[in-house]
Structures are given as structure tokens and as C-alpha cells.
Chain A
């Protein structure tokens, strides 16, 4: 297992180099002069010269790339052009907000998607199965930005049941520790804040979970249908085991493998979806930050965040691969 893990980690190196090259080239995609585009047409020549020097834009491309990678390896993701705040310091504030939202969305997706998939496969052809299949198809076809708006309108505006912006009520006083508010509220034993955090999380997490939920449901159903036709399941049934034991104990464990893979891939969907969801629900995470930076033409932030999200995505996929190999030893020997 250790050798397999090492091999997989080493295989990541060229991918990360490639990712850094693409992200580096992002700034050079800007039509015309990058420095002028970043600072705007009314920038003074001095400011343009300073920016070029700061980002090494006056150097040849290979030198610029080396400078860029050097900064990243030293944990320097640059500064926001607009606020002049280092990207890393803003990132430490915003990443927990996105992580919390994505984690809750993923939890929703698993809690609903997996049981629905299992029951659908178990009771194939039933009304529940048909309803789940239609629901899942609608889920994968759903524009989550529209669903988010609809949820905000229905539950926030019309029914006034749930808040639809920010992480806490206006005027709430709370000093976070990790900025994962669910964790912090528990650590500080501040139950009203915990309640507020949960209420604020519900709508954005529900919107963000729609597509992963549908995909998890479809994948679980497909994997379960395949497994339920295997000989060992038939044998278990022939032995007289109860259906619930066969499905839950024997079949589901083996159907879990492809589901693990698909769950890992959903991290990318969650991070991309966060840009849209956080924008709708004014969620102060990295998704909203990317959106705001695009609007303000704060290109270094867009560049850095693209890199951060890509690295999170790649590392998650690595962890999924490793967990897959851990769950199924055959993978290590392929």
C-alpha cells in the first residue's frame, strides 16, 4: 500500500507542474498589455512600471514562470490589486466558509443520494424507483444558480422561514476560532450561534448539493443493481438471510467502491458550484471572492484562486484513489 501511495504521489508532480504552467499562462491570456489591463486605462506610467516589476512582467516568460513558482513555493500567492491584502491572509478567512458549505452540501448529497440509490435498486421498477430516477435526472439537469434563487425566493422571501444571505444574522456577535462556524459554535458552547449557523447553511447547502446528490443516487443505484445480480448475493439469499441483511450487509459494501470514486469527483463540482451558490447567498467564501475579483478585474486573485481550487481538486482525487486502493486491494496490483 505504501509503495502504491508513493507512486501515486510522485505521479502528481508532473500534473502539479502542468497546473502551475496553465495558471501562470492565465495572466498572459489577457488581451493586450497585462499591466494596463490589471490597473486600468487611467493608470500612471509609474504604476505600470511598478506592477511589471512586482510581477516580473518585464522579464522573459521562462523567468516570469520561475519567479511565479518561487513565490508559490514560499507560500506567497501575491496580493490583491484592489485591497492590497495578501491573498493567503484573505484565503485563510474565506476557505473555511467554503469548506463548511461544501462539507454540509456533500453530507446532504450522501445522506439522501445513497439511501435513495439503495432503495431504488432494491425495489427496482417500483414507484419509488421511478420517482428517484426522475428526481435524479432533474437534479443533474438543474441550473443550481436558478435553484438557489428559487429557494431564496420561496423560503426566504415568501415563507420567511430561512435566511438567505451571509453566515450569521446581521448584528450577531461571535468571535470565530477556526472560522468553521459549526465547529467554533460547539467549541465555545454558543448554542444560539450554532442554531443561526445551521439556519444560514441550509439553503445554500441544499442548492449546492443538488447535482452531487443526483449523481450519487444514480451511481449508487447502478452499482447496487450490478452487485445484486452477483452469485454471492444469490447465495446469501439462498442461505435464508433476510433481504435487509443481504442488501445492507453484503451488497452495499461492495457497491460502495464506485460510489467512493464519484464522491471524490464531486469535490470539483462543489468548488465550481460554490462560485455560483456563494454569489447568490452572499456567502463570504472563496467562490464569492472569485466572482468579486472577476467583477473588479483583480486578476492576481482570480489566478491564485484557480490554482488553489485546482490543487484542492487534484489532492482530493489522490485521496480518493488511495482510499479506493485501501478498500479494494486489487487496485494496488494493477
Chain B
């Protein structure tokens, strides 16, 4: 949107803009921050490339039942460990299952785990962090000590520990990955709340009688969203790798689920004579995480250009 405005004379009220633009009139584009961010995001070739790859995987996940040449668990026992060919573009595994079809179906699982695990960490971490940062005092102290303790464990190790104890499974892996990443979001939200609670607009709202929950929900949260969104986008990539790692260790999805990490474990046994059974699921993990990282970097640069590398 473009508009012509007249500057108020010093000490005097603003006058309406004349119908005919003065030669010295200031022409200013009033843009929304969202539109600016979107423009910056789409100006970045790598971010758009990342988004395109993510969209391809999303479409693959949605359309898997219709676009795959074979079922995820369909066994062609006469075609076991077949090298890539026109009939099986990515070859087949030891049970004669089409690797391409399983990789495509696997995108459903990886995207689901990535998105839901991040949603769990994002929502829980943000609520905890915002409350602690806004409340301050002993609540904040308690929160920080709690986070220090959880952060004393490397995240992947903690996830492995939780799933090892609770029993393997995709849902448990999802929950464990969600739990171990809570501190990242909580600390981020807390630091935002700490800085925002001293800002004029929050103080003004407090003076007008806004309650604590309203201040946090209506004023602090919306202004904390940018770094949280950036972290969440990058977090999806991490969650996908962690889930595949748990699957690889036999702690995530269980056979015959076409989960990429689990496919790698199965393919590992045939490293010598059928490397394709692990090359393609691994490439799928790499491509997805790379794409989400590209999108994450793009979102970060778009929302906060000062962070651009």
C-alpha cells in the first residue's frame, strides 16, 4: 500500500495532504511487518528451495497411497534384494518390498513425528518459559534450576533413556523427543518475557489493569513469536533426525512400519549386497532435515534480518 502524507509543521497540527502532490512531498510505503518478512523470505533462493522440498515431502506424505507403485508392506518374494531398475526405482529390500514405496510412506511418519514433537516442546516450553519469565522471583529461580538439570543430559541420550525405560514405540519416541526439547523453547520464551515485561507497552497495559494471564497471552506472547517460530522450524529438522536415530536403535517405530531410521537398521544387515536398501531412506532423512534447516534459516533471516549470516 502506498500513500502520500504531509509532515506536520513543527509546533503545528498535521494538515491534510493536498490533492496535487507537492514536489517535496514525502512518499512512504506503509507495509505490514508480515508482508515485509514474507518478501524477505521469498527473496532468498535457498529458503524457497527448502520450502519447495518440504512441500514435495508433504505432498508425498499426503498422496502416498495413490502415488506409490506398491504398498508399503507389499512383499514380492521373487524380487528380494533387487537392485534399482525400471520396476523398482530404489530397488527392493530383503522381504521383496519396494524401497521407493516405503520411503514415500515413511515421509508420513517422519513429518508427523517432527511436527508433533516440536508442537509438544513448543507449547509446553513456551507456557513454562513465559510464566517463569513474567512472574520472576522464586518461580523463575525454580524454573531455571529445573531447566539446568534437564539440560545436564544431552538431549538424544535423554530421549534414548526415556524410551528405553518406557518401552519402544513410535508414540513414545515422539513424546520423548518432545520432552527433551522443552528446555530449548522454555529458555527462549523466558528470555523474551524477561525483556518484554519491562517494555513500555506492557507497563502501559499493566497500568490499565490488565491481569497477568492477559499480559502474557495478549501482549508478551505475540511479541515473542518470532524467535519461537524460527526455533520450531529448525527444531523439526532435529526432531526428524532424533526420531530416525531412535528408530535406528530399535527404540522408535517397530517393524514393519516404513520408518526411515528403522529401514536403515534393516538395510544395514545387507550392506554388502544391497546398499540401496539403506542409501535411499538415509537420503530421504538428509533431504528433509536439510530442507527444514533451509526454511528455518530463511524464516530467521526474514523475521530478524540482523541475524543474517
Contacts and interface: CB of A to CB of B under 8 A. Distances in A.
Interface of A: 14-16, 18-19, 21-22, 26-27, 29-31, 133, 137-138, 140-143, 145-147, 149-150, 152-153, 157, 218, 221-222, 225, 268-269, 271-273, 275-276, 279-280, 290-291, 294-295, 299, 302, 306, 309-310, 313-314
Given A26-B161, A31-B166, A141-B290, 18 more contacts: A14-B148, A18-B145, A18-B146, A137-B297, A141-B293, A142-B286, A143-B245, A145-B248, A146-B282, A146-B285, A147-B282, A149-B282, A218-B309, A221-B309, A222-B309, A295-B250, A299-B165, A313-B154
Contacts of A137: 290, 293-294, 297
B149 A19 contact: yes
A313 B271 CA distance: 34
Contacts of B286: 138, 141-143, 146
B157 A26 contact: no
Given A146-B285, A275-B157, A29 B293 contact: no
19 contacts: A14-B149, A22-B149, A27-B165, A31-B166, A133-B309, A140-B293, A141-B237, A141-B290, A143-B282, A143-B286, A145-B245, A145-B264, A157-B272, A268-B155, A271-B154, A273-B156, A295-B250, A299-B164, A309-B154
Interface string B156-182: 111011101111000000000000000
B299 to A, nearest CB: 14
A153 B164 CA distance: 29
A153 B154 contact: no
A16 B153 CA distance: 11
Contacts of A294: 160, 164, 249-251
Nearest to B292: A141
Contacts of A299: 164-165
B22 interface: no
A133 B309 CA distance: 9
A26 B172 CA distance: 15
Specify which of A142, A146, A279, A290 lies most central, judged by the most chain B CB atoms within 10 Å of its CB: A146
Contacts of B271: 149, 152-153, 157
A225 to B, nearest CB: 8
A221 B309 CA distance: 9
A269 B149 CA distance: 17
A138 B43 CA distance: 21
Given A137-B297, A142-B286, A313 B309 contact: no
From DSSP, what is the main secondary structure of chain A's interface residues? helix
B9 interface: no
Contacts of B245: 143, 145, 276
B148 to A, nearest CB: 5
A291 B246 CA distance: 11
B118 interface: no
A273 B149 CA distance: 20
A42 to B, nearest CB: 18
Contacts of A225: 309
B309 A306 contact: no
A218 to B, nearest CB: 8
Contacts of A149: 264, 267-268, 271, 278, 282
Nearest to B238: A140
Contacts of A290: 160
Nearest to A293: B164
Contact of B156 (A14, A272, A280): A272
Contacts of B83: none
Nearest to A273: B156
B121 interface: no
Contacts of B19: none
B156 to A, nearest CB: 4
Contacts of A26: 161, 165
Pick the most buried of B165, B248, B267, B297: most chain A CB atoms within 10 A of its CB.
B165
B157 A306 contact: yes
B243 to A, nearest CB: 10
Contacts of A291: 249
Interface string B217-254: 00000000000000000000100010011001111000
Contact of B152 (A142, A157, A218, A310): A310
Nearest to B153: A310
Nearest to B278: A149
B172 to A, nearest CB: 10
Contacts of A30: 165-166
A295 B168 CA distance: 10
Contacts of B167: 31
A153 B275 contact: yes
Interface string B274-305: 01001101100110011001100100000000
